[in-house]
């Protein structure tokens, strides 16, 4: 039979991989179930192979980072390569593929240079020094172009690359003003260096020159001139690098050393750079770290689970968090020195630093990225600099401004804090500033006049005039809590006229009204202004969004400090609480304040939080450092402003309480358009109306766009709100539950569950899941009833089935069935559809007898109500075929499939998806019967039709592709099978997630393949991953779980771990017997395990036990396959050999 290379290349989209010998093994297969949604996936084609530069040089940006706050620069060593040095055997470039996930706010560079040992002059010390200067020059140029001269730097240097980095820092330190002055910035910005196997010195009687020879010997033979150059230059090199000692204390240093010997060009293995050379003793702020690898592989990591990667990445994470503050202080010191040298003086306009206008937290956490962005907006450049920090109430905008002010107080001659909550408060704050100016500069007549007049408007004008003075150009003014902006129209008018009277004044009606802040800003083209606001509409300066804390460690730190409880990383409940509060500083501080006053544990608090949210918030002590004092009321003012501006937006916010908090999009709501109240019909009339309503909520920071384009499919972008805001909508805005709103949400979600025939339907399913979970909770909690609308529950059941959530699917299906039976009767077709789907569910759960009862009831009812040839009837016929195949009743299964196929071809067409599903299932059956040519023909037919009808990336298409992979493995075409499995696995992982049954089945199949290729450690990893996932998703006794248990037994047999194999086989047989009952003796996978255990007992000389199992297996195989089948003949031969062995 032809291997059909053109078909395979079209399936794979990438080159085939090599494989080794094969060993026969039977793997579990998947079938398809018309009449319900099937699982889904998407394909990922491999990128084309690029022709690479053999020795790429210069800086390459590996990743730009997300709003980067630190630069990580990797430098390779002798005979190294800018990319290959850091790339493991599996193709993982850890600086590109792993580190950005752990340090997302790092820009990562790899620097390449010509360090080829074939030219001996290229590794002389002078040559290395030239490289060092080039490294400094390249970095300066890149950082200038990206306006990041002052960004912290962390170097990662391998082998002799460490010598290049040390030379570079020596050169940078030696740079002086007027002579390559910009080169000095690199040393000032360097926070830390991680030396990876760098030979710093001789040790244990070994000279440095000999160590350099060791490094070179990895690549060249002993008589190469390079070795003589290294030995000759080593003394001069040691002397030159001695200059590094005085500056080494300026950096945090990690000395990583190898643990294992490395093969060399001599053909032997050596410890290239031993610990005594790689670690410099007594250096300040330095730490030795061991890497469990050889010299070459100590910088190559295959995954995030690699121990070397964990060690290095954790050190880099710690350094990246600490670097911004330390490097900022260095730059401030440099600038102060520059000013002192120039004789600059601000005494005429200096005002003593004070934060008396604001309550501050005593322990500010994290936010280095945002602080750096504020500094970039305010601290760099000339002219007026304005930065606007906007975000949700409670996100920490005020405390961020406090932290910036305290950190950079020396940069400003005067710092003023203004309460901008409303126009009157702002004027009163200006009046207090006028008081401060007058106290320290009593000769300023116009300020004295304003203070004495007690006129608020005059005070505003006087302060602005003082700030506008051309010689007074180093001030900072913070306008805090400008939360109700009104920026329409021109901004040339002055402040509203105030009343005569006291400086304090009263709020009056003006307090709750929006106003335009622009007339209150100084007019001069100098100085710095920082505005904090909840509104994203304030665009008078450089906007800086403030989101939730992204690092769980930061959330735990706030909890620990505010609760006076420590070591929270080891408290599971504390971690869960931090995750629940999802990085909202106000919520974390509120929880801590409560826990600081009571003896409640974190676990107890979390339970109360979930059950009695509002009551808990009302009994929590107020926070002095937060103006609104309480979490539960902090968003009331925003809601009032939304309601005043757009009633539909306010109603949408209330409705949101009954959806999940994330990813609400137009098409989801549109489905309920006709059944909603007038305001909802207006909202969903078109996308423009929805967008306008959401925009108002975004303006006040209550929601934000949160669905990337690559995750939303063909439908529109989604919007989300923070979990704590969602709790507020549930418990405050909807303190009295609105049943009509809840039912409207149920209809929207139920109507939007897509059929499996839609292209990309799994994307919509994934987006729907959190909303479905919210609906399920409302049903279970009795918030709303779906009586008369059981179709909603049926749709939710389909959704949960497709996503592998079987217990949730069972709950809603059974509730739907009770409703159908009560409302429509047990024989109604809607009732029977749910009965059919319960059969699918029970089959997937391994409850085969329960499934059979459901299918038979559905079939009898449909034949009576619809006729034997109706497509819905045929769906159940097909499903019965699937069940019979799983029970080992292959003849019965074949009869069902053939009946279904004939009916589909007559009622529909040969290329209809239902027809193709049964064609695929016939392929599975033929494979189990050993009819491999027939199976391949069925798969090919099914695949051609599915690619045409559903597309290459559809889950059903990939299911058939996977089945072809199984067939190829049975045929010994292992490289073809491996490539197919990897394609399918990528699609499943992307569409379904790591824990879905379909994903895990393919992981199991890869384990089978690796075992047959002799890659036993890879196979074990796959089997263990599949087993953990199946035990969690399906349970320990599900037949699919037991299939993988059997496969682990096979692997242990191959490894000679016979007792472990016996335990696996016995567990699998017990499980099959428990689930299948008498049918266990007719279930092909169970028969496999029985035969495998018989083989094991034969090896252990347990002949009696082996014979019992062989006889049992022979009887089952005879009943399932017949006496002419190869499988029966093989078992019979093994039994005969056992008899001979016994004699």
pLDDT (tens digit per residue) in 183-237? 889 999 999 999 999 887 654 444 555 555 566 555 544 344 444 444 544 555 5
- The reply to whether 328 and 360 lie within a common domain is no
For residue range 346-386, list pLDDT tens digits in order: 678 888 888 877 776 666 776 888 888 898 888 766 678 99
pLDDT at 509 over 50: no
Residue listed under structure tokens 């609480």:
577
818 and 682 in a single domain? The answer is: yes
Q: Is residue 905 in some structural domain?
A: no
What is residue 887's predicted lDDT score, i.e. its pLDDT? Answer: 81
Which ranges in 98-203 belong to alpha helices (H)? 99-102, 125-145, 161-174, 184-189
Measure the CA–CA gap between 363 and 360, rounded to whole angstroms. 9
Domain boundary residue, one of 279, 303, 332: 332
Which pLDDT score is estimated for 718?
92
* CATH classification of the domain holding 178: 3.40.50.1820
- 684: β partners: none
Same domain, 489 and 582: no
H/E stretch holding 62: strand 58-63
Task: Determine which of 45-59, 321-335, 861-875 has the lowest per-residue pLDDT on average.
Answer: 45-59
pLDDT higher at 550 or 742: 742
Helices (H), 827-951: 829-844, 848-865, 871-886, 890-907, 913-928, 932-949
- Order of strands across the sheet that contains 286-291: 58-63, 106-112, 70-75, 153-158, 190-196, 252-258, 286-291
- Residues 261 and 200 grouped into a single domain: yes
pLDDT of residue 588: 87
Confidence (pLDDT) at 585: 87
The CATH number of whichever domain residue 384 belongs to comes to: 3.40.50.300
Cα-only R_g, the chain: 36
Q: Which residue among 545, 566, 584 closes a domain? A: 545
* Of the listed ranges 742-756, 929-943, 991-1005, 1083-1097, the one predicted with least confidence: 991-1005
Q: Quick check: is 327 in a domain?
A: yes
Between the alpha carbon of residue 965 and those of residues 131, 571, 915, 959, 977, the distances in Å are 51, 45, 22, 10, 4
CB atoms within 10 A of CB 287: 12
Examine residue 796 and state whether it is found in any structural domain, yes or no: yes
The pLDDT assigned to 4 comes to: 39
Looking at the fold, whether 532 and 561 belong to one and the same domain comes out as no
* Of the candidates 235, 327, 330, 253, the residue with the CA atom closest to the CA atom of residue 289: 253
Question: Rounded distance, CA 202 to CA 280, Å?
Answer: 10
765 lies in some domain: yes
Percent of the chain with pLDDT over 90: 47
CATH of the domain at 599: 1.10.8
Q: How far apart are CA 527 and CA 521, in angstroms?
A: 11
Q: Is the pLDDT confidence value at 31 over 80?
A: no
pLDDT at 193: 97
Question: How many domains does the chain divide into?
Answer: 4
Per-residue model confidence as pLDDT tens digits over 987-1000: 888 888 888 888 99
| pLDDT tens, residue by residue, 899-913 | 999 999 999 989 999
Tell me: do 190 and 309 sit in the same domain. Answer: yes
pTM for the full model? 0.62
In the prediction, which pLDDT does 362 show? 66
Residues 6+ apart with CB under 8 A from 429: 357, 417, 418, 419, 420
Q: How far apart are CA 755 and CA 758, in angstroms?
A: 6
- Asked if the model's pLDDT at residue 648 lies above 60, the reply is yes
740 and 652 in a common domain: yes
Q: Where among 798, 830, 850 does a domain terminate?
A: 850
Q: What is the pLDDT of residue 458?
A: 96
Are 491 and 520 found together in one domain? yes
Pair of tokens at residue 208: 């440095």
Average pLDDT over residues 717-723: 90
Mean pLDDT of 130-159: 92
Residue 984 within any structural domain of the chain = no
pLDDT the model gives residue 197: 92
Segment 454-460 shows an average pLDDT of 95
What pLDDT, on the 0 to 100 scale, is given for residue 679? Answer: 95
Report the half-sphere exposure of 354 (CA within 13 A, side-chain side). Answer: 12
Closest CA to 80 of 200, 135, 160, 134: 160
**Is 717 within the bounds of a domain?**
yes
In this structure, the answer to whether residues 473 and 534 fall within a common structural domain is yes
Residue 219 is assigned to a structural domain of this protein: yes
Same domain, 480 and 601: no
Q: Indicate whether 160 belongs to any domain.
A: yes
Q: Can you list the positions of beta strands (E) in 412-518?
A: 414-419, 475-480
- The C-alpha atoms of residue 1069 and residue 1042 are separated, in whole angstroms, by 8
Mark whether 384 and 303 lie in a shared domain: no
CATH number at residue 825: 1.25.40
Q: Which two tokens stand for residue 421?
A: 């909550």
| Mean of pLDDT values over 667-676 | 91
**Higher local confidence (pLDDT), 283 or 454:** 454
Q: Are residues 581 and 670 in the same domain?
A: no
Q: Which domain holds residue 779?
A: 646-850
Please provide the average confidence, as pLDDT, over all residues in the chain: 83
329 to 191, 252, 404, 424: CA distances (angstroms): 11, 15, 13, 38
Higher pLDDT, 124 or 546: 546
- Of the pLDDT bands very low, low, confident and very high (cuts 50, 70, 90), residue 939 is very high
């Amino acid at each position: 039979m032809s291997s059909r290379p053109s078909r395979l290349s079209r399936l794979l989209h990438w080159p085939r991989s090599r494989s080794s010998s094969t060993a026969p093994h039977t793997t579990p297969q998947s079938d398809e179930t018309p009449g319900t949604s099937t699982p889904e996936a998407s394909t990922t084609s491999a990128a084309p192979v690029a022709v690479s530069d053999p020795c790429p040089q210069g800086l390459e940006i590996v990743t730009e980072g997300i709003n980067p706050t630190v630069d990580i620069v990797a430098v390779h060593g002798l005979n190294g390569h800018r990319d290959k040095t850091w790339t493991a055997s599996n193709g993982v470039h850890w600086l590109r593929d792993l580190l950005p996930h752990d340090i997302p706010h790092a820009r990562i560079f790899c620097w390449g240079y010509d360090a080829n040992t074939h030219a001996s002059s290229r590794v002389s010390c002078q040559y290395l020094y030239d490289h060092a200067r080039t490294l400094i020059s390249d970095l300066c140029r890149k950082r200038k172009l990206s306006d990041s001269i002052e960004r912290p730097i962390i170097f990662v240097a391998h082998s002799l690359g460490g010598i290049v980095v040390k030379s570079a820092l020596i050169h940078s330190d030696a740079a002086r003003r007027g002579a390559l002055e910009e080169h000095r910035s690199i040393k000032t910005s360097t926070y830390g260096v991680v030396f990876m196997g760098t030979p710093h010195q001789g040790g244990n009687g070994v000279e440095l020159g000999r160590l350099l020879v060791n490094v070179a010997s990895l690549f060249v033979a002993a008589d190469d001139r390079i070795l003589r150059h290294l030995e000759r230059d080593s003394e001069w090199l040691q002397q030159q690098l001695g200059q590094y000692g005085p500056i080494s204390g300026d950096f945090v240093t990690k000395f990583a050393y190898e643990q294992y010997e490395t093969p060399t060009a001599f053909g032997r293995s050596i410890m290239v750079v031993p610990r005594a050379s790689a670690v410099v003793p007594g250096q300040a702020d330095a730490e030795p770290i061991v890497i469990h690898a050889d010299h070459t592989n100590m910088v190559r990591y295959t995954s995030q689970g690699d121990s070397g990667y964990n060690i290095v990445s954790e050190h880099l994470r710690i350094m990246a968090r600490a670097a911004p503050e330390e490097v900022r202080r260095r730059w401030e010191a440099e600038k102060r020195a520059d000013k002192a040298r120039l004789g600059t003086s601000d005494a005429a306009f200096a005002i003593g630093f004070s934060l008396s206008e604001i309550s501050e937290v005593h322990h500010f956490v994290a936010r280095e990225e945002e602080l750096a962005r504020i500094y970039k907006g305010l601290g760099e450049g000339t002219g007026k600099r304005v930065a606007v920090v906007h975000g949700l109430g409670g996100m920490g905008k005020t405390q961020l401004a406090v932290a910036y002010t305290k950190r950079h107080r020396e940069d400003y001659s005067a710092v003023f804090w203004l309460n901008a909550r409303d126009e009157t408060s702002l004027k009163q704050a200006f009046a207090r500033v006028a008081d401060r100016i007058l106290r320290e500069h009593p000769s300023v007549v116009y300020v004295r006049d304003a203070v004495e007049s007690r006129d608020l408007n005059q005070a505003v004008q006087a302060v602005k005039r003082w700030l506008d003075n051309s010689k007074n150009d180093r001030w900072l003014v913070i306008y805090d809590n400008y939360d109700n902006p009104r920026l329409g129209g021109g901004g040339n008018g002055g402040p509203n006229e105030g009343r005569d009277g006291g400086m304090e004044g009263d709020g009056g009606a003006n307090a709750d009204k929006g106003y335009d802040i622009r007339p209150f800003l100084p007019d001069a083209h100098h100085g710095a202004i920082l505005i904090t606001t909840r509104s994203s509409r304030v665009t008078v300066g450089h906007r800086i969004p403030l989101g939730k804390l992204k690092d769980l460690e930061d959330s735990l730190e706030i909890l620990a400090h505010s609760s006076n409880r420590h070591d929270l990383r080891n408290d599971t409940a504390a971690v869960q609480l931090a995750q629940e509060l999802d990085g909202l500083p106000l919520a974390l501080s509120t929880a801590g304040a409560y826990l600081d006053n009571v003896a409640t544990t974190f676990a107890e608090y979390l339970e109360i939080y979930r059950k009695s949210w509002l009551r808990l918030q009302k009994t929590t002590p107020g926070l002095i450092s937060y103006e609104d004092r309480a979490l539960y009321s902090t968003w009331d003012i925003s809601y009032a402003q939304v309601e005043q501006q757009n009633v539909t937006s306010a109603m949408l916010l209330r409705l949101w309480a009954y959806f999940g908090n994330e990813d609400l999009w137009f098409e989801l709501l549109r489905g309920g358009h006709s059944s909603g109240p007038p305001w909802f019909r207006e909202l969903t009339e078109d996308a423009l109306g929805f967008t306008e309503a959401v925009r108002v909520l975004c303006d006040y920071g209550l929601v934000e766009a949160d669905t990337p384009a690559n995750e939303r499919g063909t439908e529109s972008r989604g919007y989300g709100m923070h979990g704590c805001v969602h709790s507020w909508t549930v418990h405050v805005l909807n303190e009295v539950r609105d049943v009509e709103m809840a039912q409207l949400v149920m209809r929207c979600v139920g109507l939007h569950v897509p059929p499996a025939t839609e292209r990309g339907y799994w994307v919509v399913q994934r987006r729907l899941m959190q909303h479905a979970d919210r609906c399920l909770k409302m049903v279970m909690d009795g918030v709303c009833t779906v009586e008369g609308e059981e179709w909603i529950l049926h749709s939710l059941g389909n959704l949960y089935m497709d996503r592998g959530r079987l217990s949730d699917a069972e709950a809603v299906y059974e509730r739907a069935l009770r409703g159908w039976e009560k409302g429509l009767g047990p024989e109604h077709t809607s009732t029977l559809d749910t009965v059919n789907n319960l059969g699918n569910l029970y089959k997937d759960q391994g409850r085969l007898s329960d499934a059979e009862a459901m299918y038979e009831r559905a079939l009898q009812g449909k034949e009576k109500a619809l006729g034997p040839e109706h497509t819905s009837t045929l769906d159940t016929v097909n499903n019965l075929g699937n069940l019979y195949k799983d029970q080992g009743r292959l003849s019965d299964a074949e009869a069902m499939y053939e009946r279904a196929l004939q009916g589909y071809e007559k009622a529909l067409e040969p290329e209809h998806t239902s027809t193709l599903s049964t064609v695929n299932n016939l392929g599975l059956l033929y494979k189990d019967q050993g009819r491999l040519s027939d199976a391949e023909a069925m798969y090919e037919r099914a695949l051609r039709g599915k690619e045409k009808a559903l597309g290459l990336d559809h889950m059903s298409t990939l299911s058939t592709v996977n089945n072809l992979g199984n067939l190829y493995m049975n045929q010994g075409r292992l490289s073809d099978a491996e490539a197919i499995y990897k394609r399918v696995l990528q699609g499943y992982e992307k569409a379904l997630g790591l824990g879905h049954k379909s994903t895990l089945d393919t992981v199991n199949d890869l384990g089978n393949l690796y075992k047959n290729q002799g890659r036993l450690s890879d196979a074990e990893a796959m089997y263990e991953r599949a087993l953990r996932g199946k035990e969690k998703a399906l349970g320990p006794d599900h037949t699919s779980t037991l299939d993988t248990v059997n496969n682990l037994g096979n692997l242990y047999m191959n490894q000679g771990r016979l007792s472990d194999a016996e335990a696996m086989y016995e567990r699998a047989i017990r499980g099959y017997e428990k689930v299948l009952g008498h049918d266990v003796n007719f279930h092909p996978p169970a028969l496999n395990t029985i035969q495998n255990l018989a083989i094991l007992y034969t090896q252990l000389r347990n002949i009696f036990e082996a014979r019992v199992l062989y006889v049992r297996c022979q009887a089952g195989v005879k009943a399932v396959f017949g006496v002419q089948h190869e499988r029966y003949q093989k078992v019979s031969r093994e039994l005969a050999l056992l008899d001979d062995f016994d004699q």
